[in-house]
Amino acid sequence: MVRVSCNIYTATLPRKFIINPNYINKKRYEHTSTSLNLCTTNTSKMALLSPSQVQIIKSTVPVLAQHGEAITAKFYTDLLTANPSLKNVFNTTHQATGHQSRALAGALYAYAANIDNLGALSPALELICHKHVSLFIQPAQYAIVGEFLLATMKTVLGAAATGEVLDAWGAAYWQLADIMIAKEEGLYKSTPGWDGWKDFTIVRKVAESGSGEICSFYLKPKEAGVEVPVFKPGQYVSVNVRVEELDGGVWQARQYSLSDASGKGYLRISVKKEMGEAREGYVSNILHGKSEGDVVRVSHPFGDFFFDREESGENGPVVLISAGVGLTCLTSILNGLAAEQGSRPVSWIHGARDLNARAFKKDVDTLVAANRNIRAVYFSSNPKEGEVEGQDYHIKGRVDMDKVGKDALFADNDQTQYFICGPTQFMLDVQAKLKSYGVPAERIKMELFGTGGVPRV
């Protein structure tokens, strides 16, 4: 499963940039003509926004609702024009389709609307910070984004972008940047000895579905002495590959769920190939074209979507609900739970087009046969002729919680944890149904593979 971050930070700093040190928490940023350098200083901790600045930011909410996408579209155009090296960081596909600018516009709107209630943004910030560290975004790289963002606001909004408005947004930007820099610093410190991309060799490549759409890649460090990192079930890695067809050659990174349990001496990702005519920047298709023995660059595992044993108690049930390639991160959780050989009840609920498109079915069936506490429910929306109900699938149609039944969902157990992954609307529909059964939102976790975040209902 591939994920795409709402990442906007990295670049070389232009000569003209001057930053107000009062905006920065214990650091200031200097530049040369070729690179950024972060220098420590005695600058005091950044002050919170003044009450008047908070009100100014809130007053811009309607403006962002109307002009947000125009601001972010121009922001990315200007940023990439002035800093072509950024093409090595940004998802070129989502730049071309406008997904990235729409996601950033939504983030700006949410920040302005919640400027006096930042706790409401904690889940989104957690997600973004994990994506940033998987791409090795550094503190110094926030400066260039702030300059281009404010410049774009001034251009698009014209007379409405008064000095007071720009000052308020400058302070607001650095307030948010400060929070993210601190969070990302903590995440970097959690991976001692891992500095930058590591070369991993594809030691095994396996087709996981009859259609060939989903393929697993088993990865091991190329360099002797590099250990395979431990990770939490459900997390991901960023994979970075060179795309020669784009602008004379650029690096492109994507996040892929780890699809097996930790501690096996390898990292496994399972990737869906984009069928039909694909853009040159589709990293998933590039990976499908690689062979055993090829080398890719990999980040340390990160991600805020994972199974935490402490949250569900010693024997709290776990329900894993997915559609399509959304099963990959849940496969990691399932394999980890099976390895415990405990009595914790586990339900695996998955929807696919047909048997040919369903990945890992043999593996899941093997786990079900060997573990009395694990059960599986397969939905097939369009089973092919010859597929047997009760063997190749259990229920015809799309995933439907009412057809699963509350027994398999353990809805009456207040320790049950639910993990959902698939298309956004699928996740929202499942979440809404679970809540109608009385399941509180804090026991429902959803993972998005796409730009932006999952809206809550």
**How large is the average pLDDT for residues 395-400?**
97
Give me the pLDDT at residue 312, please: 76
Checking if the pLDDT of 15 tops 70, the result is no
Residue 303: name the closest of 233, 253, 241, 240 by CA.
233
Is the domain of 331 the same as that of 217? no
pLDDT band of residue 317 (cuts 50, 70, 90) is very high
Between CA 444 and CA 119 the distance in angstroms is 19
Is the domain of 98 the same as that of 61? yes
Is the domain of 335 the same as that of 244? no
Per-residue pLDDT reduced to its tens digit, 161-218: 999 999 999 999 999 999 999 999 999 999 988 889 999 999 999 999 888 899 999 9
Instruction: Please tell me whether residue 273 adopts helix, strand or coil conformation.
Output: coil
**How large is the average pLDDT for residues 6-23?**
32
Residue at a domain's end among 298, 330, 365: 298
Under 8 Å between Cβ of 297 and 198: yes
* Contact partners, residue 196, CB within 8 Å, separation at least 6: 136
**Overall domain count for the chain:** 3
Residue with tokens 């002050």: 47
Q: Report if residue 71 sits inside a domain.
A: yes
Is the domain of 183 the same as that of 206? no
Give me the pLDDT at residue 404, please: 96
**How large is the average pLDDT for residues 437-456?**
75
pTM, whole model, 2 decimals?
A: 0.86
* Set 29, 76, 142, 393: catalytic member: 142
Per-residue pLDDT reduced to its tens digit, 61-110: 999 999 999 999 999 999 999 988 888 888 888 888 888 999 999 999 99
Is the domain of 409 the same as that of 332? yes
Give me the pLDDT at residue 18, please: 28
pLDDT band of residue 400 (cuts 50, 70, 90) is very high
Instruction: Please tell me whether residue 258 adopts helix, strand or coil conformation.
Output: strand
CATH number of the structural domain spanning residue 132: 1.10.490.10
Per-residue pLDDT reduced to its tens digit, 36-68: 222 222 233 454 799 999 999 999 999 999 999
Is the domain of 364 the same as that of 232? no
Instruction: Please tell me whether residue 271 adopts helix, strand or coil conformation.
Output: strand
Q: Which has the higher per-residue pLDDT, 269 or 91?
A: 269
Is the domain of 31 the same as that of 161? yes
Q: Report if residue 412 sits inside a domain.
A: yes
* Contact partners, residue 241, CB within 8 Å, separation at least 6: 251, 252, 283, 286, 287, 296, 297
Q: Is 164 a catalytic residue?
A: no
Q: Report if residue 454 sits inside a domain.
A: no
Per-residue pLDDT reduced to its tens digit, 337-381: 999 988 999 999 999 999 999 999 999 999 999 999 999 999 999
Q: Report if residue 167 sits inside a domain.
A: yes
Pairing assessment for the beta strands 318-323 and 417-421 based on DSSP bridges: parallel
Is the domain of 227 the same as that of 105? no
Q: Beta-carbon neighbour count of residue 182 at 10 Å?
A: 13
**How large is the average pLDDT for residues 290-314?**
93
Is the domain of 22 the same as that of 163? yes
Least confident of 27-31, 113-117, 365-369, 376-380: 27-31
Q: Report if residue 457 sits inside a domain.
A: no
Q: Report if residue 303 sits inside a domain.
A: no
Is the domain of 327 the same as that of 417? yes
Between CA 315 and CA 410 the distance in angstroms is 12
CATH number of the structural domain spanning residue 325: 3.40.50.80
* Set 69, 147, 184, 213: catalytic member: 184
Q: Report if residue 145 sits inside a domain.
A: yes
Write down the mean pLDDT value for the chain.
87
pLDDT band of residue 278 (cuts 50, 70, 90) is low
Please give the residue range of the domain that contains residue 258: 198-298
Between CA 172 and CA 110 the distance in angstroms is 13
Q: Is 142 a catalytic residue?
A: yes
